[in-house]
Amino acid sequence: MGKRVLLIEDEPNIIEAISFILSRDGWTVHTHQDGQTAMAKVHAFPPDLIILDVMLPGRSGFDLLRDLRADTATAGIPVMMLTARGQEKDRELALRLGANHFMTKPFSNSAVRDHVRSLMEA
CATH 3.30.1490.20 fits 4-121, yes or no: no
CA 122 to centroid of chain Cα atoms: 16
Q: What is the pLDDT of residue 2?
A: 62
The ranges assigned to domains in the chain are 4-121
CA angle 25, 20, 113 (to 5 degrees): 45
User: pTM for this one?
Assistant: 0.95
Q: What is the pLDDT of residue 89?
A: 92
User: What does the pLDDT look like over 79-110, one tens digit per residue?
Assistant: 999 988 778 999 999 999 999 999 998 899 99
Cα–Cα distance, 37 to 51 (Å, whole number) = 15
Averaged pLDDT of the chain: 94
